[in-house]
Copies of this chain bind each other. A is one copy, B any other.
């Protein structure tokens, strides 16, 4: 089996498609060499197959001989020999897996130098200084990367040489001292490693290749793969390439270039270069780089050659490319290229621009696939402008966007500070409905407990306000918090990033959140792809929410929760009266009061959503959520005593207390116990609809029963709803009655539920909780991080739907439900509705719509379109 391929190997397919075999870097090097004919220093790629074989069975004779053979060919082409005393060949050795992966061995340059060949290099280049500088760099790099010797030991020696020679910059160190440095480096290696620095270049080469292979199974690489869902059995390729020297002289240099600006998307080359330097110098930032366009003045011919290459790369890859290049004594060499990463603004601009450029002529479908949900998040929310901040701790990124403000520890303090004109970050252990005014007054929210669907997270996402939750390294102590020995006092400034979960002490500069003009255009393309296929709705509980939802392009409300309406200060006492009611009469009186309040809630929403469907979920949470905290009342009873009212509440709270409220008396079960409740809600809704109709508006209503598990239960609940609708008797409106699918049993028995349900809406949050047995309140903020870090879970299943467990239940339910009722409408209204990977699964499962928080609606619109495009069978958009 062929394990080693020269860059000009005549592959049957375009090499850039062979990333599985050659890794990303190797594939692009071969593409540039053999397809584009660009000036690439010759070399060869040792395949991922060779890596897998090595990791299984060790270094084989077969591999050894193929590497040697490829080396011989390289030597012939370069007319130099590795380790040659007169004119040695030097090579670089780089890793290159299919996916770019931090944590793997990076690069060893100048391999092939030893005590003899360094002299050959010196003679051949007529530059002792250059030769020894290269040698000492090589020993340092090889020892650190391949032999695992800490780099700072070498740095210390180099600093000593600089001090000795009174040098200001690295290049000031005299040649004589460089020779000394080489000796002291070698001594260091012998001392630490117990063996001398390898002098045999073949030994060096094998060592470097094996180091790359082994780094595939380094703990950082494994952790990264687990986090990113990259399979563990891919292996990495290794690229061995003849060295060219940007540090040869002042007619040399090295640089990094983008074919257009990765930050703004602006056309025209963008990048940095350094004269007389090797690649690592650019990255290390030890010397100040010059902008790429200054190359035009210094090396006008090379510059125009580079621009021609950039244009070729762009039209060949049909995308913005990121390159590394080196100039050696006036000759340009391309060392690497790949499709470049970009910001959200740039992604939007490039995607739109490239549809108009004849050299690239992207279709709109292709353009849509170039944009990610993260890109849209970036343009919708402020971001940290730099990466140069030291992170105090990381919680869960619960609501995207970055915020800076002074910390306050109570909602009231947050409101006062905000009134004084301060920007506030509200820091709480966890939030409750009592904190809502403080959250509203803050720039961002930080909690030390709770998961991605905790109160803080859900409320913040609803408002598009940055939030970091479950930052459990932080301990709140009175009016300050402590983490890792650092204390932050009330009024101190911190910065949070609700995408990454980062918490930073002090103020980090933020980018503005102003969607560029391409934003709406790209989304309109996405909408065209979705037209008559898959809708996007928003979750919204109030008229204001509904307005926001429409502004983001929601095509309806997929989930209108009715419980928040009851938590309002003015409603809670009525709700409690209903719960405490001692007779049917008292209960009915409380229900009637609630009905009036609910009617006006619904009216607001229906007015805003005129002509678009609104899915109302009947009351879902357990009744104890409307009662005061048991523990507080217990303490009060034991100390100062309770009022009569409090005693009654305490008794009710005891009565309704549950060991596992998530699996308790909630949803339709509540309806079974208090059937008047659901009837009241439906009547209020229908009365609101009647008012809308009178106003010549078009209300479209879907009523949803939560937490169903049996068909008889759903049939019974549907009867209550239908009876209440009939009782109000609104003419000229059809109401669909359906059910949430949020228990595993509901999914499995979807065929039976579809006998009563006219639509399904997946409650994927609860479905995930029950399928995994993971309480989001308990597991998400704590255990989940451990699970993901240790690779026990590929991702947080509350963020991205578990494709093989929960996802299978979704597929089963859709299939079985439609078997009973072929025209069954099916949607999803869990948090997953705004996650692109999850949306893809939902589209493939045949859902009619996804519903998510308003700020995720643009992302969902894009994600649905992308899923449809990838699924094929679409006609192109004009």
Contact = CB atoms under 8 A, between A and B. Distances in A.
Interface of A: 630-631, 634-635, 637-639, 658-665, 669, 672-673, 707, 709-710, 712-713, 716, 742-745, 748-749, 766, 769-775, 777-779, 782-783, 786-787, 790-793, 802, 804-806, 808-809
A748 B808 contact: yes
A662 B660 contact: yes
A791 B672 CA distance: 12
A771 B773 contact: no
Given A635-B638, A792-B672, A663 B778 contact: yes
Contact of A665 (B673, B783, B793): B783
A775 B710 contact: no
A284 to B, nearest CB: 37
B713 A792 contact: yes
Contacts of A669: 779, 783
Contacts of A806: 745
A744 B769 contact: no
Nearest to A770: B770
Contacts of A808: 748
A805 B812 CA distance: 12
B659 A787 contact: no
Contact of A777 (B660, B748, B782): B660
A805 B745 contact: yes
Given A748-B804, A787-B672, A766 B777 contact: no
A314 to B, nearest CB: 42
A801 to B, nearest CB: 12
B658 A775 contact: yes
B716 A743 contact: no
A399 B783 CA distance: 37
B777 A658 contact: yes
B770 A766 contact: no
A779 B665 contact: yes
A437 B526 CA distance: 69
Shortest Cβ-Cβ A-B pairs, 3 listed:
A663-B775, A660-B775, A745-B805
A16 to B, nearest CB: 33
A372 to B, nearest CB: 27
Interface centre among A769, A792, A802, A806 (most CB of B within 10 A): A792
Nearest to A766: B773
B660 A809 contact: no
21 contacts: A631-B634, A659-B661, A659-B777, A660-B660, A660-B661, A661-B775, A662-B663, A662-B773, A662-B775, A663-B769, A663-B770, A663-B778, A663-B779, A707-B773, A713-B787, A713-B792, A743-B773, A744-B805, A745-B772, A749-B804, A770-B771
A809 B769 CA distance: 17
B771 A661 contact: no
A814 to B, nearest CB: 16
Contacts of A631: 630-631, 634
Contacts of A664: 775, 778-779
Q: Output the residue of A748, A777, A779, A806 with the most chain B CB within 10 A.
A: A748
Contacts of A707: 773
A475 to B, nearest CB: 11
A741 to B, nearest CB: 12
A802 B743 CA distance: 14
A792 B716 contact: yes
A775 B716 contact: no
A639 B641 CA distance: 12
Nearest to A665: B783
A124 B638 CA distance: 86
Given A748-B804, A748-B808, A805-B745, A783 B672 contact: yes
Given A712-B791, A748-B805, A809-B744, A672 B786 contact: yes
Given A634-B631, A638-B639, A783-B665, A660 B804 contact: no
Contacts of A778: 658-661, 663-665
Contact of A782 (B665, B748, B774, B791): B665
Contact of A774 (B635, B663, B774, B802): B663
A122 to B, nearest CB: 54
Given A631-B634, A662-B663, A673 B786 contact: yes
Contacts of A749: 804-805
B712 A773 contact: no
Contacts of A792: 672, 710, 712-713, 716
A639 B809 CA distance: 51
A716 B787 CA distance: 11
Contacts of A779: 663-665, 669
A802 B710 CA distance: 11
B716 A790 contact: yes
Contacts of A748: 771, 804-805, 808-809
A672 B639 CA distance: 41
Contacts of A665: 778-779, 782-783
Contacts of A770: 663, 744, 770-771, 773
Given A663-B779, A673-B786, 6 more contacts: A630-B631, A661-B775, A662-B775, A663-B769, A663-B773, A664-B775
Contacts of A742: 773
B661 A663 contact: no
A662 B773 CA distance: 8
Nearest to A666: B773
A635 B634 CA distance: 7
A712 to B, nearest CB: 5
A227 to B, nearest CB: 13
A793 to B, nearest CB: 6
Nearest to A633: B631
Most chain B CB within 10 A, of A663, A766, A787, is at A663
Among A772, A773, A790, A791, the one with the most B-chain Cβ atoms within 10 Å of its Cβ is A773
Contacts of A638: 635, 638-639
Nearest to A226: B712
Contacts of A782: 665
Contact of A659 (B766, B775, B809): B775
A748 B774 CA distance: 16
Contacts of A637: 635
Nearest to A668: B792
Contacts of A766: 773
Nearest to A752: B804
A772 B630 CA distance: 27
A774 B804 CA distance: 23
Nearest to A716: B792
A729 B447 CA distance: 48
A243 to B, nearest CB: 42
A658 B664 CA distance: 15
A673 B744 contact: no
A77 B196 CA distance: 121
Contacts of A786: 672-673
